Amino acid sequence: MKINKRKILITGGSGFIGSHLVRRLLELSNEIIILDNFSTGRFENLRGVEDRISNIIEGDIQNLKDIEEALDEVDIIFHYAADPYVKDSVYNPVNNFEINVMGTLNLLEVMRKVGIKQIVFASSGGTLYGDVKMDKIPTKEDVQFNPISPYGASKASCESYLSAYSSSYDFIVTSVRFANIYGPFSDHGVMYDFFHKLKQNKEQLEILGDGSQIKSYMYISDCIDATLIAAENTNTGFEAFNLGVERVASVNEIANLVVKEMNLKDVEYIYTGGERGWVGDVKRSSLSIEKIKSLGWKPKFTLKEGVRKYINWLKEHENY
């Protein structure tokens, strides 16, 4: 089913990934409604397209009335609103649960009551699968969940409810399990962290853990392309798609790329400790993307190209 000329609700539409999705869906002649409490998103992320958005509701997925207002005559929901901070979830797991799981359940219940059937859910690849055995890397979509952070557990719980609502109420569900997504409008993550640390100190860079952590890093426009292909190819039931790239990189390699793009030399790396950057950090995450590739998608940006574009954007937006 092509996603064009539809009425679409995007929860978390002012956030990093959500705001890019807003722009792409507007290009496809869709009518867009946003529900966002702006706790982590920014209105400035929508600058230049705000007049083309039908309705921006400053509301919360923990409030049923806000959801009911946002869902008026909507065809599809892209559910991106969440508490996105993995590290913080370790210290405040109840808050993370209430926003991510209860907020999602609230949305599903209002959908069920008003008769809306299709939802695309922003899930997480690395945190959902957690520490997997080497023979399960790259990790396919059918590997058992093994979250090691409350954030990962919240995404696993949400997917369980989404699967249940698909089976019980004939919902059409696309779960897109993201790798580490980066690019313009991202205000967290390892590249953002390194850039701002190096702006403060051009001679030393603190790296959480020992720098050996291996992750998949995906540029934002590739992520949006893959998301729409996944959604358009989910016609019944529940479908999950890993969204990432085949090439993984260590945190040390990311540091090297950022240092190079900032035209710095002889930077000393200072490591904080062991193989995890923080409690709940996945040591190695490599997602199998064979399923999304089978639909004709492939990434357009190499890691080097993507990092260059993002760092150049950060240079132009130093106060972001």
Residues 171 and 57 in one domain: yes
Same domain, 87 and 23: yes
The HSE-up count of residue 101 (CA atoms within 13 Å, CB side) is 17
pTM comes to 0.97
The DSSP letter of residue 139 is B
In a domain, 262, yes or no: yes
Q: List active site positions.
A: 151
Tell whether 50 and 166 lie within a shared domain: yes
CATH of the domain at 207: 3.90.25.10
Q: Please give the residue range of the domain that contains residue 49.
A: 7-181+217-243
Q: Which tokens sit at 166?
A: 């698909």
Q: Cα–Cα distance between 115 and 308 in angstroms, integer?
A: 45
Q: Which tokens is 269 given? A: 């790396």
Is 291 domain-assigned? no
Q: Which runs of consecutive H residues, i.e. helices, occur in the chain?
A: 16-27, 64-70, 86-91, 93-97, 103-114, 125-129, 150-169, 190-200, 220-232, 251-261, 290-293, 303-316
Q: Specify if 189 maps to a domain.
A: yes
Distance, CA of 317 to CA of 154 (rounded, Å): 32
For residues 236 and 268, state if they share a domain: no
Shared domain check, 135 and 25 = yes
Tell me if 290 is assigned to some domain. no
Contacts of 274 (CB under 8 A, 6+ apart): 209, 210
Query: What is the spatial distance between Cα 121 and Cα 128, in angstroms, rounded to a whole number?
Result: 13
Residue 61 lies in a domain: yes
Single-letter code of the amino acid located at 109: E
Residue 59 lies inside a defined structural domain of this protein: yes
Within 10 angstroms of residue 23's Cβ, the number of other Cβ atoms is 16
Q: Specify the CATH number for the domain of residue 54.
A: 3.40.50.720
* Length, in residues, of the chain: 320
- Does residue 271 lie in a domain region? yes
**Within the chain, what is the greatest distance between any pair of CA atoms?**
60
Same-domain check for residues 93 and 202: no
Per-residue pLDDT tens listing for the chain (320 residues): 789 999 999 999 999 999 999 999 999 999 999 999 999 999 999 999 999 999 999 999 999 999 999 999 999 999 999 999 999 999 999 999 999 999 999 999 999 999 999 999 999 999 999 999 988 999 999 999 999 999 999 999 999 999 999 999 999 999 999 999 999 999 999 999 999 999 999 999 999 999 999 999 999 999 999 999 999 999 999 999 999 999 999 999 999 999 999 999 999 999 998 888 878 899 999 999 999 999 999 999 999 999 999 999 999 998 89
Specify the number of domains making up the chain: 2
Pair (45, 106) in one structural domain:
yes
2 lies in a domain? no
If asked whether residues 48 and 165 sit together in one domain, one would say yes
Looking at the fold, whether 262 and 158 belong to one and the same domain comes out as no
Q: Do the beta carbons of residue 146 and residue 132 sit within 8 Å? A: yes
Pair 137, 19 in one domain:
yes
Residues 118 and 141 in one domain: yes
